[in-house]
């Protein structure tokens, strides 16, 4: 007998039939003798629909009220799943995040989990009930409802798996696992049997939307074992775990694409200490995440500073940046939202050389111009024109022969 946390995403519970299918899968796990804690997302596009509804009554809804609204989505799905379980004759009980003591800070719409008092879950498990928890939500110490940022049900699942010391946290989704590239772009992309937390984190930050990036950080920190798999099949998916030696044999394990990037350039920034600090402090005070930053050496006492942000933040970042540019006596602020970011990721990069050169050659061969480059120990990212993004992903997948990974690879 093991304690298993299973998380089902919105597409897995999009309609009553699918809710019943999930109930059957949960019932199978329960009947096999395991203790099961289920985390559900809101049905289908519920959260998007609620956001749209909010925008129709108010241009900038207060974030507290936004959380009151958004948290209802998961409350619907967890109650429905509990009912479906009862329909199958399996004892189950649903709880909101607040009811099971998921305590967060007060950052509405993007709250962080501070504490989980899992007693209520443990008591229900001890009575042999399946416990179903509404994903994506928690409560502040003064009883305000909060949500954990888009995709936050993943975080609920990972945090519960940690708090309950679960044997495995299964993330059920509408894809079979983590692929070497998006199969909609690269038809011969391969499902990876295993991948490390670090690679998954880099992929999540580079456009591979399998799991919420924050949930991956928590999974990595506490080494919560994850299994990403499809709720529509019985096939095993991708195991995410600590790095093991065999993973290093492969230099590149995936190519990802981030299309929603925008580039901002502050021209003629005075070259003296403290200027970058001022600019990026203002941006971070506005709660805007900056991705890449490039600044060249200055030969004239002035230099251009470029950075990228998510396109959703562009209007806001431009307002902030124009203000601070004037303050530090820099020049114009220009922007470009016709860009995309392609990245190659792999822990094997630590021990293989020449990966960057190979990536740039592959892009050059397709006449794709590189506008910005950034690297980490296990990732190389390039900003390119958005209309060349698909071609870039395909050519990189080919050059690194990623179609040879997966089933027949060293990553067994």
The reply on whether position 47 binds ligand ASP by CB under 6 A is yes
Q: Which stretch binds ligand ASP (CB under 6 A): 150-158, 166-174, 249-257, 376-384?
A: 150-158
User: If we measure between CA atoms, which residue out of 344, 170, 183 comes closest to residue 250?
Assistant: 344
Query: Closer CB to ligand ASP, residue 45 or residue 248?
Result: 45
User: In whole angstroms, how close is the CB of 291 to ligand ASP at the nearest point?
Assistant: 20
Binding Mg ion (rule: CB under 5 A), the pick from 12, 41, 46, 215 is 41
- The answer to whether residues 191 and 206 touch, using CB atoms and an 8 Å cutoff, is no
Q: At CB < 8 A and 24+ separation, what contacts does 159-163 make?
A: 159/102, 159/113, 159/116, 159/215, 159/218, 160/5, 160/37, 160/39, 160/116, 160/118, 160/121, 160/133, 161/5, 161/224, 162/218, 162/222, 162/224, 163/116, 163/118
Helices (H), 197-274: 197-205, 213-222
Number of residues that bind ligand ASP (CB under 6 A): 13
Minimum distance, C-beta of residue 154 to Mg ion, in the bound complex (Å): 8
Please give the structure tokens belonging to residue 394: 């395909």
Per-residue contact flags (x/-) with ligand ASP for residues 225 to 254, judged by CB under 6 A: ------------------------------
Residue 44 binding partner per list Mg ion, ligand ASP, none, with a CB distance cut-off of 5 to 8 Å that depends on partner kind: none
We find the least distance from the C-beta atom of residue 49 to ligand ASP, in angstroms, to be: 10
Tokens of 208: 């591979």
Q: Does 316 bind ligand ASP (CB under 6 A)?
A: no
Beta strand 372-376 with 333-345 is: unpaired
CB of 231 to Mg ion, least distance (A): 12
The DSSP code sequence of 164-190 is HT-SEEEEEESSSS-BSS-TTT-TT--
Comparison of 151 and 207: residue with beta carbon closer to Mg ion: 151
Of the pair 10, 205, the CB lying nearest ligand ASP is at: 10
Hey, how many other C-beta atoms are within 10 angstroms of the C-beta on 408? 10
Examine residue 46 and tell whether it contacts Mg ion (CB under 5 A). Answer: no
| Interaction partner, residue 73 (Mg ion, ligand ASP, none; CB < 5-8 Å by kind) | ligand ASP
150 binds ligand ASP (CB under 6 A): yes
| Phi and psi angles of residue 400, each rounded to the nearest 5 degrees, phi first | -90, 10
Select the residue interacting with ligand ASP from 73, 177, 254, 406 (CB under 6 A). Answer: 73
Q: Are 54 and 61 in contact (CB under 8 A)?
A: yes
Contact window for ligand ASP (CB under 6 A) among 108-116, 149-157, 229-237, 313-321: 149-157
Edge to edge, what strands does the sheet with 35-40 contain?
92-95, 130-134, 35-40, 3-8, 168-173, 226-230, 238-241, 194-196
Pull the structure tokens for residue 121: 């879950």
CB nearer ligand ASP, residue 90 or residue 160: 160
Q: Which residues contact 272 (CB under 8 A, 6 or more apart)?
A: none
Residue placing its CB nearer to Mg ion in the complex, 41 or 253: 41
CB 225 within 8 A of CB 239: yes
Q: What string marks each residue from 145 to 164 as x (binds Mg ion by CB under 5 A) or -?
A: ------x-------------
For ligand ASP, the closer of residues 10 and 348 by Cβ is 10
Which range of residues in 84-92, 110-118, 145-153, 228-236 is near ligand ASP by CB under 6 A?
145-153
Distance CA 158, CA 382 (A): 31
Q: Which residues of 369-389 are buried (b: 16+ CB within 10 A; e: fewer)?
A: eeebebeeebbbbbbbbbebb
- Alpha-carbon span 82 to 41, nearest angstrom: 14
The site string for ligand ASP over 3-42 (x = CB under 6 A, - otherwise) reads: ------xx------------------------------xx
x/- letters, 63..82, toward Mg ion (CB under 5 A): --------------------
Q: Which residue of 104, 153, 206, 208 would you call a contact of ligand ASP, by CB under 6 A?
A: 153
Binding site for Mg ion (CB under 5 A): 9-10, 41, 151
Binding site for ligand ASP (CB under 6 A): 9-10, 41-42, 47, 73, 135-136, 150-154
């Amino acid at each position: 007998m093991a304690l298993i946390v299973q998380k089902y995403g919105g597409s897995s519970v999009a309609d009553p039939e699918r809710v019943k299918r999930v109930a059957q899968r949960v019932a199978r796990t329960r009947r096999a003798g395991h203790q099961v804690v289920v985390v559900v997302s809101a049905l289908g596009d519920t959260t998007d629909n609620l956001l749209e509804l909010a925008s129709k009554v108010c241009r900038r809804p207060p974030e507290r009220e936004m959380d009151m609204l958004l948290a209802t989505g998961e409350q619907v799905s967890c109650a429905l799943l509990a009912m479906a379980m009862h329909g199958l004759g399996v004892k189950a009980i649903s709880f909101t995040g607040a009811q099971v003591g998921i305590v967060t800070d007060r950052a509405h719409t993007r709250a962080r989990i501070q504490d989980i008092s899992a007693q209520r879950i443990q008591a229900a498990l001890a009575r042999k009930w399946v416990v179903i928890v509404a994903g994506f939500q928690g409560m502040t110490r003064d009883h305000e409802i909060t949500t954990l940022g888009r995709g936050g049900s993943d975080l609920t699942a990972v945090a519960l798996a940690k708090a309950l010391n679960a044997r495995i946290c299964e993330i059920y989704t509408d894809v079979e696992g983590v692929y070497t590239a998006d199969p909609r772009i690269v038809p011969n992309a391969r499902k990876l049997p295993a991948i490390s937390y670090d690679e998954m984190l880099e992929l999540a930050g580079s456009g591979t939307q399998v799991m919420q990036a924050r949930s991956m950080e928590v999974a990595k920190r506490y080494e919560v074992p994850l299994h990403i798999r499809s709720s529509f099949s019985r096939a095993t998916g991708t195991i995410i775990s600590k790095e093991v030696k065999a993973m290093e044999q492969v230099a590149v394990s995936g190519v990802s694409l981030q299309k929603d990037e925008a580039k901002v350039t502050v021209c003629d920034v005075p070259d003296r200490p403290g200027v970058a600090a001022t600019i990026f402090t203002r941006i971070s005070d506005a709660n805007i995440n900056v991705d890449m930053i490039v600044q060249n050496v200055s030969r004239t006492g002035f230099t251009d500073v470029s950075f990228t942000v998510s396109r959703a933040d562009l209007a806001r970042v431009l307002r902030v940046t124009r203000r601070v540019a004037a303050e530090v006596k820099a020049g114009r602020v220009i922007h470009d939202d016709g860009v995309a970011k392609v990245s190659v990721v792999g822990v094997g990069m630590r021990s293989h050389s020449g990966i960057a050169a190979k990536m740039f050659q592959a892009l050059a061969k397709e006449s794709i111009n590189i506008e910005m480059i950034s690297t980490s120990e296990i990732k190389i990212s390039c900003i390119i024109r958005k209309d060349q993004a698909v071609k870039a992903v395909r050519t990189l997948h080919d050059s690194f022969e990623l179609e040879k990974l997966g089933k027949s690879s060293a990553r067994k």
